[in-house]
Amino acid sequence: MSITAIAALKQNDTFTFNELFHEYHQKIYFLVLSKSKSSYIAEEATQLTFIKLWAYRHHLDESLPLSQQIFRIAKTTLIDVLRKDAVYSTMKQNLLTSSENLDGFANMDVKELNETIQEAVQKLPPVRRKVFELSRNHYLSHREISNHLSLSIKTIETHITLALKQLRHLMTWLAMLLIPFF
């Protein structure tokens, strides 16, 4: 039946596929269950095995027994499902850890955060720092800063853009310390 079943599958014969499903479903399920010890994973991997069998039916090798090919699909599918489950578990754990860290970040004293930002502003190059402080602390427009420092408006815009970029970099760095990546 193996060679004729492969040929039938390649001809899109759903009757043959249904016969194979009924013949191998339970065998694959219990094999995966014995390896994974999880009925959820066994059900998932078994269903995906038959989905893949149908999707890749035109690539089946007629020189190999069909049972061998079905169990190879089941094996690789189990590996994929276990890998996906492991990634999901890691992401779930990281989310829990992140939310704990975010709680700590939310409780961080606003005064401390402002001090950290001010320290970063003080580390800016002198002209950039002056432009940034006039813009953010004294609420001057770009034109007013330009007149006050005798610099072009374009130069003022460049300094503010670079200052914000540098401060964003600091904030990203702070966030990385507080929130682990997945």
Give pLDDT tens digits for 26-77: 999 999 999 888 888 889 899 999 999 999 999 999 999 999 999 999 999 9
CA dist list (Å): 124 to 63, 68, 162, 163 = 70, 66, 9, 7
Give pLDDT tens digits for 100-129: 555 555 555 566 767 777 888 888 899 999
Give pLDDT tens digits for 161-181: 888 888 777 777 666 655 554
pTM here is: 0.50
CA dist list (Å): 79 to 36, 145, 173 = 10, 62, 36
- Helix/strand/coil for 124: coil
Neighbouring residues of 60: CB distance < 8 A, sequence distance ≥ 6? 6, 9, 10, 66, 69
Report the pLDDT value the prediction gives residue 22, as an integer from 0 to 100. 94
In the chain, pLDDT over 90 holds for what percent of residues? 41
Helices (H) and strands (E) in the chain, counts: 8, 0
Q: Could you give the residue ranges of the DSSP H alpha helices within 37-138? A: 39-55, 66-106, 110-122, 126-136
Inter-residue contact 78 to 95 (CB < 8 Å): no
